[in-house]
Amino acid sequence: MKGTIHYCLEETIIKYHGEDAWTQVTKGAGLGEDFSYGTKIRDDIDEVQSIELFVLSANIIGIELSQLFDEFGEHWCVEYSPKVYGVFYRGMNSTKEAVTKLDRVHETVTNHIPNAYPPRFVYNWKADNVLELFYKSDRNLIDLFISLVKGLNKKFGDYTEIEKKSEHIVLLTFHQEVPEYLIENQLQAQKA
């Protein structure tokens, strides 16, 4: 997988858990104490090492993998990718617009890189704001995908209901703000 993912993970760990946590991870991964992915953004990193780096990092820091995915998703969408790939966000104002562009973005970013095989997305619109999305990747990182959608919500300040149907399908319902019926459901749950 492209080193850009690893460098964003490095920044995420430093941002949420401090420099020492990153040093522990690099030592634990056998990368050496002062290791950084900063100069390896365009490199191809071994697939197993890539996915294992997330798992190993969560273990070393002592958090659930899902928390690390959420932190990564937020950092990627709010800070890292707007800084590194700002052009893709030009004129974009919502999670819905960003998700709609995802397939093209991944194809464009990686189409000149011989060994990249980015995730692909197939869109099946059920209504104007309801999308059944097929995540096509052998890496089986749909949970990371979901965390990235949450990151887009943070970036655009809107709200998307995310329903995981399987390891390859999610149902997304886009809202610009939290819908009334969800607030009411929450109030009912608190009363019960």
CA–CA distance, 101 with 82 (Å, rounded to integer)? 15
The letter for the amino acid at 50 is: S
- Out of 102, 131, 133, 170, the only residue in the binding site for ligand HEM (CB under 6 A) is 102
Question: Of the two residues 107 and 184, which places its CB atom closer to ligand HEM in the complex?
Answer: 107
Q: Select from 85, 141, 147 the least CA-distant residue to 118.
A: 141
Block residue for tokens 């943070």 = 154
Q: Which of residues 62-81 bind ligand HEM (CB under 6 A)?
A: 77, 81
Q: Which of residues 115-134 bind ligand HEM (CB under 6 A)?
A: 116-119
100 near ligand HEM, rule: CB under 6 A: no
- Out of 23, 24, 36, 110, the only residue in the binding site for ligand HEM (CB under 6 A) is 110
CA–CA distance, 142 with 187 (Å, rounded to integer)? 30
Task: Tell me the sheet residues that pair with 136.
Answer: 120
Is the CB of residue 177 less than 8 Å from the CB of residue 159? yes
Part in contact with ligand HEM (CB under 6 A); list of ranges 20-28, 53-61, 103-111, 178-186 = 103-111
26 near ligand HEM, rule: CB under 6 A: no
